[in-house]
Structure 1
Amino acid sequence: MTANTGAASARGRGTAGRTTAPGATDRDTDVVIAGAGPTGLVLALDLARRGVRALLLERARGLFPGSRGKGLQPRTQEVLDDLGVLPGVLAAGTSYPRMLAWEGTERRGEWDMIERSEPTEQVPYANTLLIPQSRTQELLYARLTELGGAVRFGAELTGLAQDEDGVAVELSGGETITAACLVGADGGRSTVRRALGIRMTGETVDPRPMLVADVRIAAGAVTDRDHWHVWRAPDGGVALCPLPGGDGLFQLAATFEDEAATVDTTPEGVRTLLTTRTPLSAEEITAVPWASDYRARAALADRYREGRVFLAGDAAHVHSPAGGQGLNTGVQDAYNLGWKLAQVLLHGAPAELLDSYEAERRPVAAEVLGLSTRLHRATADGAATQRGKDVQQLGLGYRDSALAVDTRPETPEDTVRAGDRAPDGPYGEGRLFDLFRGPHFTLLTVGATDAPPSLPPSVRTAALPPYAPYGPGVFLIRPDGYVGWAGTHADATLDTYLTAVGLTPAGRTRAEVTAA
Structure 2
Amino acid sequence: MNAAETDVLVVGAGPTGLVLACALRLHGADVRVVDAAPGPATTSRANILHARGTEVLERIGALGDLPERSLTALTVTQYLDGQPAVTVRFGDLGPGTARPALYASQADVEEQLRQRLRELGTEIEWNCAISGMTQDNSGVTATLHTGASVRCRWLAGCDGAHSTVRKLTGIPFPGVRLTERFLLADVYAEWPVDRSGGHGWPHRDGPLFAVPMHEVGRPDNLWRLMAYDPTGSEDEQSPEQIVDRFRQLIPERTGRTDIRITDSAWTSVFRVHRRLADTYRSGRVFLAGDAAHIHSPLGGQGIVTGIGDAENLAWKLGLVLRARAAAALLDTYEAERRPLATEVLRNTTTATRLQVGSSPFYRFLRRRLLVPIAAMPSVQRRASRLASQLWVTYRRGPLNRGIRSRIGRSPRPGDRIPNLSCRHIDGNPTDLYNHLGRNWVLLIPGRGAATPFTAPATRLGHNVVTLIAEHNTGRPDVQLIRPDAHLAWRGTDPQRLTRWLDEALRYCR
> Shared fold (TM-score greater than 0.5)?
yes
Q: Distance in 2 between matches of 1:166 and 1:321?
A: 35
Q: Residue in 1 aligned with 2:350?
A: 374
Q: Residue in 2 aligned with 1:272?
A: 244
Which of 347, 361, 368 lines up with 2:323 in the alignment? 347
State the Cα distance separating 1:240 from its structure 2 match.
Answer: 2.3
Q: Does 1:362 align with 2:338?
A: yes
Q: Does 1:333 align with 2:333?
A: no
Give the secondary structure class of the aligned counterpart of 2:494.
coil
CA contact (8 A) 2:73 2:90 kept: no
Q: Distance in 2 between matches of 1:466 and 1:227?
A: 36
State the Cα distance separating 1:338 from its structure 2 match.
Answer: 0.5
State the Cα distance separating 1:466 from its structure 2 match.
Answer: 5.8
Deviations 1:290-321 (A, max 9, x none): 22222112111000000000000000000101
Q: Distance in 2 between matches of 1:451 and 1:357?
A: 32
Which of 415, 419, 423 lines up with 1:420 in the alignment? 415
Q: Distance in 2 between matches of 1:35 and 1:282?
A: 42
Q: Residue in 1 aligned with 2:224?
A: 251
- The 1:502–1:99 alpha-carbon spacing in structure 2 relative to 1, beyond 3 Å, is closer
Q: Distance in 2 between matches of 1:463 and 1:282?
A: 58
Q: Residue in 1 aligned with 2:48?
A: 71
In the TM superposition, what are the counterparts of 1:63-142 in structure 2 within 5 Å?
Answer: 63-96=40-73, 98-99=75-76, 108-109=83-84, 111-113=86-88, 115-118=89-92, 120-125=94-99, 127-142=100-115
State the Cα distance separating 1:122 from its structure 2 match.
Answer: 3.1
Q: Distance in 2 between matches of 1:121 and 1:331?
A: 22
State the Cα distance separating 1:227 from its structure 2 match.
Answer: 5.1
Q: Distance in 2 between matches of 1:342 and 1:184?
A: 17
State the Cα distance separating 1:182 from its structure 2 match.
Answer: 0.7
Q: Distance in 2 between matches of 1:233 and 1:348?
A: 56
CA contact (8 A) 1:36 1:57 kept: yes
Deviations 1:180-224 (A, max 9, x none): 111001111111111111111323322x2112222223xx44456
Q: Does 1:158 align with 2:131?
A: yes
CA contact (8 A) 1:265 1:291 kept: no
Q: Distance in 2 between matches of 1:472 and 1:128?
A: 35
Q: Residue in 2 aligned with 1:483?
A: 487
State the Cα distance separating 1:41 from its structure 2 match.
Answer: 0.5
Q: Residue in 2 aligned with 1:402?
A: 398
Q: Residue in 2 aligned with 1:436?
A: 435
Deviations 1:34-59 (A, max 9, x none): 11110001001111122211111111
Give the secondary structure class of the aligned counterpart of 1:200.
coil
Which of 460, 463, 470 lines up with 2:465 in the alignment? 460
CA contact (8 A) 1:184 1:312 kept: yes
CA contact (8 A) 1:263 1:293 kept: no
Unaligned runs of 5+ in 1: 1-23, 504-513
Q: Does 1:262 align with 2:267?
A: no
State the Cα distance separating 1:501 from its structure 2 match.
Answer: 5.8
State the Cα distance separating 1:249 from its structure 2 match.
Answer: 2.1
State the Cα distance separating 1:411 from its structure 2 match.
Answer: 3.0
In the TM superposition, what are the counterparts of 1:3-82 in structure 2 within 5 Å?
Answer: 26-82=3-59
Deviations 1:398-449 (A, max 9, x none): 11222226755x4351511111112222224755434533411111122564
Q: Distance in 2 between matches of 1:467 and 1:292?
A: 53
State the Cα distance separating 1:495 from its structure 2 match.
Answer: 1.9
CA contact (8 A) 2:75 2:90 kept: no
Which letter maps to 1:74? A
Give the secondary structure class of the aligned counterpart of 1:460.
strand
Q: Residue in 2 aligned with 1:508?
A: none
Deviations 1:49-95 (A, max 9, x none): 22211111111112222222222222222111111123422122222
- The 1:444–1:133 alpha-carbon spacing in structure 2 relative to 1, beyond 3 Å, is same
- The 1:401–1:230 alpha-carbon spacing in structure 2 relative to 1, beyond 3 Å, is closer
Give the secondary structure class of the aligned counterpart of 2:41.
coil
Q: Distance in 2 between matches of 1:321 and 1:473?
A: 41
Which letter maps to 2:210? L
- The 1:379–1:179 alpha-carbon spacing in structure 2 relative to 1, beyond 3 Å, is same
Q: Residue in 2 aligned with 1:390?
A: 386
State the Cα distance separating 1:99 from its structure 2 match.
Answer: 4.3
CA contact (8 A) 2:93 2:385 kept: no
The normalised TM-score by structure 1 is 0.83
In the TM superposition, what are the counterparts of 1:215-234 in structure 2 within 5 Å?
Answer: 215-217=187-189, 220-222=190-192, 225-226=195-196, 228-230=198-200
CA contact (8 A) 2:35 2:129 kept: yes
- The 1:191–1:243 alpha-carbon spacing in structure 2 relative to 1, beyond 3 Å, is same
Q: Residue in 2 aligned with 1:14?
A: none
State the Cα distance separating 1:239 from its structure 2 match.
Answer: 2.2
Which of 144, 164, 167 lines up with 1:171 in the alignment? 144
CA contact (8 A) 1:426 1:432 kept: yes
Aligned length: 470
Q: Distance in 1 between matches of 2:154 and 2:504?
A: 18
Aligned residues: percent identity? Answer: 34
Give the secondary structure class of the aligned counterpart of 2:497.
helix
Q: Distance in 2 between matches of 1:466 and 1:338?
A: 31
Give the secondary structure class of the aligned counterpart of 2:322.
helix
Deviations 1:332-387 (A, max 9, x none): 00000001111111234211111111111111111111111111122224535663
CA contact (8 A) 1:424 1:431 kept: no
CA contact (8 A) 1:407 1:486 kept: no
- The 1:407–1:361 alpha-carbon spacing in structure 2 relative to 1, beyond 3 Å, is closer
Q: Distance in 2 between matches of 1:249 and 1:291?
A: 13
Deviations 1:89-137 (A, max 9, x none): 212222225445679xx95216434x42225433333x32211111111
CA contact (8 A) 2:449 2:478 kept: no
Q: Distance in 2 between matches of 1:283 and 1:74?
A: 31
State the Cα distance separating 1:231 from its structure 2 match.
Answer: 5.0
CA contact (8 A) 1:98 1:110 kept: no
- The 1:403–1:232 alpha-carbon spacing in structure 2 relative to 1, beyond 3 Å, is closer
Which letter maps to 1:202? G
